[in-house]
Amino acid sequence: VMSPARQGPMARYEAAGIEDPRITLLEGRHYVVYTAFSGYGPVMALATTEDFEHYRRLGIISEPGNKDGMLFPRKVDGRYVRFDRPIGNDVG
């Protein structure tokens, strides 16, 4: 189970919680795009896991006001593709 970070660089972005993980298997590794909440608003963050018990947070991958993201399960023209749903400043 992935819990909000209590220390480290992601703690301030996850202060109000995390939700909505979207898991994609790419090149033998599980990538987790999730929504982190704090006073900054919702942001999408990225983590990896091999066993779903230990997670390595890679950081924020969106501007505030963005959520519901996922990685496309293969590269397109040699590049990774992310889908998301910007929501603006009004969260409710």
What residue ranges do the domains of the chain occupy? 17-85
Predicted local confidence at residue 18, as pLDDT:
98
Q: What is the mean pLDDT of residues 65-81?
A: 91
Residues 29-69: tens digit of each pLDDT = 999 999 999 998 899 999 999 999 999 999 999 988 888 89
Task: Output 85 or 48, whichever has higher pLDDT.
Answer: 48
> What's the predicted TM-score (pTM) here?
0.87
Using alpha carbons, select from 45, 41, 48 the residue that is nearest to residue 4. 45
Distance (Å, whole) CA 37 – CA 18: 6
